[in-house]
């Protein structure tokens, strides 16, 4: 089950955190993984981990917000059977603390970046008889989270784009779903805590874990496992769906 042998899989932001876990797992399941990162060095450790285990991986330096760069990279890659739009950046602040530059930066990476990759991949998938897309949304698209105005906007767009692509490309045999994680323990979280709560790292980490009803943050590998299922033939009857993977955050945190 969950065999991806011989399939070309593109994972944006595949060098760290959730993206790295997805890249490693997909390669383990036989996929030819192509990681898109802003710089090649950002994916060096992930690529080494994959190749050391006998997996197939290529790294491409690409700013997903740059449409010409994205189209050029996909020319090199060829036709993917799987696209995981995972690349994204965060911003902390409510409406009044979000500058125009902040808003544009979040939109260009999180929304336009996904659009650019969809635009590059979907016509190729159509010509090749189909494919699978997973877009990384967030529980922020489903519920209000304090001080996440721009980030929430961007993930709401991902949620809606997923529905649109799934509807428009049903007859092209292209499935499109999204995943909405709650808080996941990644290097970003550790860096955020260290920067904003120096000397209070342990207490802050415990508080963030306790904010999830299940009592802890998710592990990147848990998100990757869901992505693998959605991209596998075992999920062939699933499209146009969003999957909260949130330790009960959306339904139980009231």
**Over the stretch 28-73, which tens digit does the pLDDT of each residue have?**
999 999 999 999 999 999 999 999 999 999 999 999 999 999 999 9
CB 208 within 8 A of CB 3: no
User: Strand 56-61 relative to strand 32-37: parallel, antiparallel, unpaired?
Assistant: parallel
Residues 178 and 125 placed together within one structural domain of the fold:
yes
* Residue 104 within any structural domain of the chain: yes
Please tell me whether residues 76 and 96 are part of one structural domain. yes
Q: Is residue 35 part of a domain?
A: yes
Do 160 and 202 belong to one domain?
A: no
Residue 141 and residue 176 in one domain = yes
Tokens for 10, please give them.
């593109």
DSSP 93: B
Region class of 179: left (phi > 0), else alpha (psi between -120 and 50), else beta:
beta
Q: For residues 89 and 68, give the distance between their C-alpha atoms in angstroms, rounded to a whole number.
A: 20
Q: For residue 1, is it within any domain?
A: no
Total number of domains in the chain? 2
Domain shared by 73 and 106, yes or no = yes
Report which of 8, 142, 116, 16 is spatially closest to residue 62, judged by C-alpha positions. 116
Residue 29 lies in a domain: yes
| Paired tokens of 48 | 């080494």
Establish if 213 belongs to a structural domain: yes
Residue 209 domain boundaries:
187-217
Q: Chain centroid to CA 175: how far?
A: 16
Q: Phi and psi of 2, rounded to 5°? A: 60, 40
What's residue 170's pLDDT?
Answer: 98
Q: Dihedral of CA 95/99/104/106: which sign?
A: negative
CATH number at residue 101: 3.40.50.720
Q: Please indicate, yes or no, whether residues 72 and 198 belong to a single structural domain of this protein.
A: no
**Residue-level length of the chain:** 254
The whole-angstrom separation of Cα 191 and Cα 6 is: 36
Q: Does residue 73 share a domain with residue 138? A: yes
Same domain, 197 and 85: no
| Residues 167-209 pLDDT 10s | 999 999 999 999 999 999 998 889 889 988 999 999 999 999 9
Q: What is the mean pLDDT of residues 10-38?
A: 98
Is residue 151 annotated as a catalytic residue, yes or no? yes
What distance in Å separates the CA atoms of residue 19 and residue 95, rounded to the nearest whole number? 28
- The reported pTM is 0.96
Angle at 223 between CA 245 and CA 69, to 5 degrees: 120
Are 59 and 151 within one domain? yes
Task: Tell whether 55 and 126 lie within a shared domain.
Answer: yes
Are 82 and 204 in the same domain? no
> Residues 230-247: what's their mean pLDDT?
98
250 assigned to some structural domain: no
Q: Are both 191 and 131 inside the same structural domain?
A: no
Q: Does residue 39 sit within a domain?
A: yes
Position 242 scores a pLDDT of 98
Q: Give the Cα-Cα-Cα angle 45, 183, 224 (nearest 5 degrees).
A: 50
Structure confidence at residue 254 (pLDDT): 58
The confidence score (pLDDT) of residue 49 equals 98
- Pick the catalytic residue: 115, 151, 169, 243? 151
């Amino acid at each position: 089950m969950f065999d991806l042998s011989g399939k070309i899989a593109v994972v944006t932001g595949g060098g760290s955190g959730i993206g790295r876990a997805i890249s490693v797992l997909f390669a383990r399941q036989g996929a030819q993984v192509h990681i898109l990162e802003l710089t090649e060095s950002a994916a060096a450790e992930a690529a080494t981990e994959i190749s050391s285990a006998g997996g197939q991986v290529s790294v491409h330096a690409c700013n997903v917000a740059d449409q010409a760069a994205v189209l050029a990279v996909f020319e090199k890659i060829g036709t993917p059977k799987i696209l995981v739009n995972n690349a994204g950046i965060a911003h902390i602040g409510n409406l009044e603390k979000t500058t125009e530059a902040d808003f544009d930066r979040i939109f260009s990476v999180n929304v336009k970046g996904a659009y650019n990759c969809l635009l590059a991949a979907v016509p190729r998938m159509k010509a090749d008889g189909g494919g699978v897309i997973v877009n990384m949304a967030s529980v922020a698209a489903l519920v209000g989270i304090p001080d996440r105005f721009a980030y929430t906007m961007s993930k709401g767009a991902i949620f809606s784009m997923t529905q649109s692509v799934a509807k428009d490309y049903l007859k092209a045999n292209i499935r499109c779903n999204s995943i909405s994680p709650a808080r996941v323990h990644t290097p970003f979280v550790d860096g955020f805590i260290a920067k904003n709560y120096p000397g209070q790292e342990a207490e802050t980490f415990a508080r963030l874990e306790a904010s999830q009803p299940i009592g802890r943050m998710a592990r990147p590998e848990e998100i990757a496992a869901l992505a693998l299922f959605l991209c596998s033939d075992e999920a062939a009857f699933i499209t146009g769906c969003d999957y909260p993977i949130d330790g009960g955050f959306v339904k139980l945190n009231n």
